Chain A
Amino acid sequence: MPLWTLYGLRQGKASTQWPASGEDGQAGTLGMPHFDPARCQEGCRRCADACLPGAITITDAAYEARVAVDYGRCVTCQMCVEACPTDAFTASGDWAFGVRRRENLVWAHAAATKDEEALKGQIRRVFGRSLHVRHVDAGSCNGCESELQALNNPFYNLHRLGIFFTASPRFADLLLVTGPVTYALRGPLLEAYEAMPDPKFVMAVGTCAVSGGTNGGGYACGNGLDGVLPVDVYLPGCPPNPAAIIHALLMLLERAAQLVHGGRIAAGGDGA
């Protein structure tokens, strides 16, 4: 065993200091595609046809609002970017897509005003600097679990931020849910929520939990958490990367600002 101690010491510190400083570790990420309706071609529907989860829909609305984009359904597959002949959809590195209100994931012409639903210091007062999280897998593909498990690896080292996963919902402040909610996990999910003491919060992590994504619906699945539990933070992504999950957790704690309004990251923001 002394060998491991020595080995560990020699390896040095691996943790990033992000978001205070340092690397977020997400170099190269292809995130939510940018949408520019000015480049959109009338009569064309290739993006909508290429969008499996139905994040892009063509409506009867007037020319400018013809294409509706809901990032709460986006699985970042980049099919629209490849399908669009006029670069109305372009690849981007935007991944910090946590929002408090679901409608902020829908692309809107006039970006909504800055989030008015801030909890006004309440969270800070109740939880101080610490948060205990109970994760429930409600039917994910395990991609989200893979990234959630990464949060405790030495690089992200979630504990440094005072955020901990806890085994019992009795000790949890936040219920973090992945997956579209299968018929069989709806009951256990609600029981876990009931078992949590007040005040309690819910975060939908991954596009499946936000909207059902590609896997929701059908005979065995719901369409995410809407209508199942009250959601405090929505974080789409397929899966959201560990830095995106950290940003959303800090956002819940009012230690980071929401970056996405009206379906896009405010100018000047690149990633997080």
Chain B
Amino acid sequence: MPIFEAVARADLTRRCKSAVDAGARMQMAYAWFPDGSRNPEIRYVVHAGSLEPLQVWCCRPGSQTMPSLAAVTPLLSWYEREITDLCGLQFEDQPQPEPLVLLPGATLSTPPLLPGVDAALSYAPASSTLPEMGGSTRDDVQLLPFGPVRADVLESAQFNFYYIGEAILHYHPQLFFKHRGMEKRFEGITPELGAVLAERVSGVGSVAHALAYCRALEAAAGCDVPPRAQWLRVLLAELERVYNHLHYLGHLCHTTTLKVGEAEGKYLEELAKQINCRAVGSRLLRGLVSPGGLRREPQLTGLAERLERLRGEFARYAVMLEASTTHLDRLITTGVLSRKLAFDQGATGPVERASGLDRDLRRDQPYAAYPELPLKVAVREAGDAHARQQLRIAEIEYSIELMQVLLERLPGGALSTRCQPSSGSQGLGWSESPRGSLYYAVHIDDAGRLARVKIKSPSFSNWRVFPFTVHDSNMMDYAINEASFGLTIAGCAR
């Protein structure tokens, strides 16, 4: 259970410094408005390390501005800028005071996450201010604004490259074309319907989002989910990991032009999605996870055999991938993310584990039935695209093994319990999605409906880290490096 603690505004910087010096990492920050007032409370979720319970610092600045903690721990910078954009709160000495979520030229009539407001957005596209490169004598520096509509079937985002020939000098992604105001959409709906919405924040993370959301509600309601539902939630989460990672490998082969490897990876992904559909009725595993448990029984007949066939085919594929020198040549030393950078800038999931950070919420903040199952956490040290491939390969193997054990030992019993959070209650939920740590914070209003929902998606963390591996690299490696991170934009932009 997380430990909630009030922290005075004046103590915040000192507390943050000492926590970071002791090896803690900030997980997220968000603002909400208690009791429908206009007085914000800023929440910081802190992970001291390994099995230590999460801490939640609550700071009420009254009418004052907040001190920016970006100088102490740079990963908080994006959270602070988002709070400024959407909640209207200013941070002193923010090193990058321009908007993050709002595109240049977008103005809001009022901060949209203030309670009870209907914000109107007006937009007159303006060019973004990018850093001046090269100076007057360096007219060989070129700017390539790539996107938001890019080649292939991809999510919309714009990538700005400053480059000379092949060499990238500076890279700046604009990731928020897809900002849909998802957190605002939760406001005022019933907790039960919130699960349907959470599944639609990032489609390829439907289970992880629904799970983190439901766990936040269950924490608020103080209800105990029955064991069978806890076990089946693990099954769904691992099915999601497997099809995501298989897609990742197919797509990575696409960028290294390993054609048969691409076809096979995407074929295995298709098999995994068909397995999902037979079990759940949805290829993206939607419509099962709900507050208090699961909505209905999945169809488990034949699942173990199908997984075993997939495991066999995947094992052969993985051996081939790790034996293809042309493929590996493009991955090894590409997009190196150092362990320190990964930690300081907040990398999460397979990205940080491929840079030597042994962190995984399934083990470190155990939930669902993970403590009762033989969970293995893969870690690699090299931090390059190859390490990120190896890590996903290992995770697919471990996930299928875990599901096979789970299916043998699956307990019987009820699938759901009543989950009715009382008015004014709140909860924090999390899950380790295929892309890393995902958090939902939920606040309930007087009528028992959702007053505020904060979503911290793994891609929001990893997109912040990714540009550090692009500056000073080269154009030919860019697509491979990006694919090796395995990021979504819908999750980041929300």
Task: Please report A residues at the B interface, Cβ cutoff 8 Å.
Answer: 1, 3-5, 7-8, 11, 14, 25-30, 50, 52, 75-79, 82, 91, 135-150, 152-156, 165, 167-169, 179-180, 182-185, 187-189, 191-192, 213-215, 217-221, 238-239, 241
Q: Check B120 for interface membership: any CB of A closer than 8 A.
A: yes
Which of A11, A144, A150 contacts B266, CB < 8 Å? Answer: A150
Q: Are A219 and B206 in contact (CB under 8 A)?
A: no
The complex places the Cα of A75 from the Cα of B196 at a distance, in Å, of 9
A29-B281, A217-B185 are known; give 9 further A-B pairs, CB within 8 A: A8-B264, A141-B201, A142-B202, A146-B203, A168-B151, A191-B149, A215-B185, A215-B197, A219-B112
Which of A3, A28, A185 contacts B279, CB < 8 Å? Answer: A28
Q: Check B200 for interface membership: any CB of A closer than 8 A.
A: yes
The complex places the Cα of A29 from the Cα of B149 at a distance, in Å, of 31
The complex places the Cα of A129 from the Cα of B281 at a distance, in Å, of 33
The complex places the Cα of A142 from the Cα of B251 at a distance, in Å, of 15
User: B273 contacts which chain A residues (CB < 8 A)?
Assistant: 150
Closest chain-B Cβ to A73's Cβ sits at a distance in Å of 13
Whose C-beta in chain A lies nearest to the C-beta of B109?
A219
User: A27 contacts which chain B residues (CB < 8 A)?
Assistant: 274, 277-278
The complex places the Cα of A75 from the Cα of B200 at a distance, in Å, of 10
Which of A4, A52, A140 contacts B155, CB < 8 Å? Answer: A140
Which of A140, A156, A217 contacts B490, CB < 8 Å? Answer: A140
Closest chain-B Cβ to A185's Cβ sits at a distance in Å of 5
User: B432 contacts which chain A residues (CB < 8 A)?
Assistant: none
The complex places the Cα of A150 from the Cα of B266 at a distance, in Å, of 7
Are A135 and B153 also in contact (CB < 8 A) when A146-B203, A185-B177, A219-B121 are?
A: yes
Q: Are A4 and B123 in contact (CB under 8 A)?
A: no
Closest chain-A Cβ to B297's Cβ sits at a distance in Å of 13
Closest chain-B Cβ to A26's Cβ sits at a distance in Å of 7
Q: Are A167 and B286 in contact (CB under 8 A)?
A: no
User: B152 contacts which chain A residues (CB < 8 A)?
Assistant: 165, 167
Whose C-beta in chain B lies nearest to the C-beta of A146?
B204
User: B279 contacts which chain A residues (CB < 8 A)?
Assistant: 28
Which of B120, B326, B490 contacts A142, CB < 8 Å? Answer: B490
Are A154 and B123 also in contact (CB < 8 A) when A142-B488, A215-B185 are?
A: no
User: A25 contacts which chain B residues (CB < 8 A)?
Assistant: 270, 274
Question: What 6 A-B pairs come out closest when comparing CB atoms?
Answer: A143-B203, A30-B281, A167-B151, A153-B266, A28-B278, A220-B181
Are A219 and B153 also in contact (CB < 8 A) when A8-B263, A146-B203 are?
A: no
The complex places the Cα of A75 from the Cα of B203 at a distance, in Å, of 12
Most buried by B among A28, A147, A165, A239: A28
Q: Check B226 for interface membership: any CB of A closer than 8 A.
A: no
Which of A3, A52, A142, A191 contacts B196, CB < 8 Å? Answer: A52
Q: Are B266 and A218 in contact (CB under 8 A)?
A: no
Q: Are B181 and A77 in contact (CB under 8 A)?
A: no
Are A140 and B203 also in contact (CB < 8 A) when A29-B277, A150-B269, A241-B283 are?
A: yes
Which residues of B in the span 7-34 have a Cβ within 8 Å of any Cβ on A? Answer: none
Are A52 and B189 also in contact (CB < 8 A) when A143-B206, A150-B270 are?
A: yes
The complex places the Cα of A169 from the Cα of B150 at a distance, in Å, of 10
The complex places the Cα of A238 from the Cα of B323 at a distance, in Å, of 39
Closest chain-B Cβ to A106's Cβ sits at a distance in Å of 21
Which residues of B in the span 314-342 have a Cβ within 8 Å of any Cβ on A? Answer: 316, 320, 323-324, 326
User: B259 contacts which chain A residues (CB < 8 A)?
Assistant: 4
The complex places the Cα of A144 from the Cα of B197 at a distance, in Å, of 15
The complex places the Cα of A124 from the Cα of B92 at a distance, in Å, of 63
A-B contact pairs, 19 of them (CB 8 A): A5-B260, A8-B260, A25-B274, A76-B282, A137-B178, A139-B180, A141-B201, A142-B489, A146-B203, A153-B266, A153-B270, A179-B178, A182-B177, A185-B178, A191-B149, A192-B149, A218-B180, A219-B181, A241-B277
Per-residue interface assignment for chain B, residues 171 to 207, with 1 indicating a CB less than 8 Å from any chain A CB and 0 otherwise = 0000011111110110001001100110111111010
Q: Are A28 and B263 in contact (CB under 8 A)?
A: no
Q: Are B287 and A141 in contact (CB under 8 A)?
A: no
Whose C-beta in chain B lies nearest to the C-beta of A149?
B153
Q: Check B154 for interface membership: any CB of A closer than 8 A.
A: yes
User: A192 contacts which chain B residues (CB < 8 A)?
Assistant: 149
The complex places the Cα of A46 from the Cα of B175 at a distance, in Å, of 39
The complex places the Cα of A7 from the Cα of B201 at a distance, in Å, of 38
Q: Check B247 for interface membership: any CB of A closer than 8 A.
A: yes
User: B489 contacts which chain A residues (CB < 8 A)?
Assistant: 142
The complex places the Cα of A39 from the Cα of B267 at a distance, in Å, of 43
Which of B108, B197, B274 contacts A214, CB < 8 Å? Answer: B197
Q: Check B295 for interface membership: any CB of A closer than 8 A.
A: yes
The complex places the Cα of A26 from the Cα of B185 at a distance, in Å, of 31
The complex places the Cα of A150 from the Cα of B272 at a distance, in Å, of 12
Are A143 and B156 also in contact (CB < 8 A) when A1-B326, A26-B277 are?
A: no
Q: Are A184 and B106 in contact (CB under 8 A)?
A: yes
The complex places the Cα of A22 from the Cα of B204 at a distance, in Å, of 28
Q: Check B125 for interface membership: any CB of A closer than 8 A.
A: yes
User: A5 contacts which chain B residues (CB < 8 A)?
Assistant: 260
User: B65 contacts which chain A residues (CB < 8 A)?
Assistant: none
User: A52 contacts which chain B residues (CB < 8 A)?
Assistant: 189, 193, 196-197
The complex places the Cα of A215 from the Cα of B201 at a distance, in Å, of 8
Q: Are A4 and B266 in contact (CB under 8 A)?
A: no
User: B192 contacts which chain A residues (CB < 8 A)?
Assistant: 50
Q: Check B219 for interface membership: any CB of A closer than 8 A.
A: no
Whose C-beta in chain B lies nearest to the C-beta of A181?
B180
Closest chain-B Cβ to A179's Cβ sits at a distance in Å of 7
Closest chain-A Cβ to B290's Cβ sits at a distance in Å of 9
Most buried by B among A147, A183, A187, A238: A183
The complex places the Cα of A145 from the Cα of B204 at a distance, in Å, of 9
Whose C-beta in chain B lies nearest to the C-beta of A195?
B149
Closest chain-A Cβ to B450's Cβ sits at a distance in Å of 12
Whose C-beta in chain B lies nearest to the C-beta of A14?
B267
Whose C-beta in chain B lies nearest to the C-beta of A207?
B200
Whose C-beta in chain A lies nearest to the C-beta of B176?
A184
The complex places the Cα of A238 from the Cα of B192 at a distance, in Å, of 18
Are A4 and B153 also in contact (CB < 8 A) when A142-B202, A183-B106, A239-B203 are?
A: no
The complex places the Cα of A136 from the Cα of B192 at a distance, in Å, of 32
Q: Are A182 and B179 in contact (CB under 8 A)?
A: yes
The complex places the Cα of A59 from the Cα of B260 at a distance, in Å, of 55
The complex places the Cα of A147 from the Cα of B196 at a distance, in Å, of 19
Are A180 and B277 also in contact (CB < 8 A) when A52-B193, A137-B154 are?
A: no
User: B123 contacts which chain A residues (CB < 8 A)?
Assistant: 183-184
User: B490 contacts which chain A residues (CB < 8 A)?
Assistant: 140-142
Q: Check B103 for interface membership: any CB of A closer than 8 A.
A: yes
The complex places the Cα of A11 from the Cα of B295 at a distance, in Å, of 38
Closest chain-B Cβ to A189's Cβ sits at a distance in Å of 8
Q: Check B237 for interface membership: any CB of A closer than 8 A.
A: no
The complex places the Cα of A121 from the Cα of B182 at a distance, in Å, of 43
Q: Are A4 and B258 in contact (CB under 8 A)?
A: yes
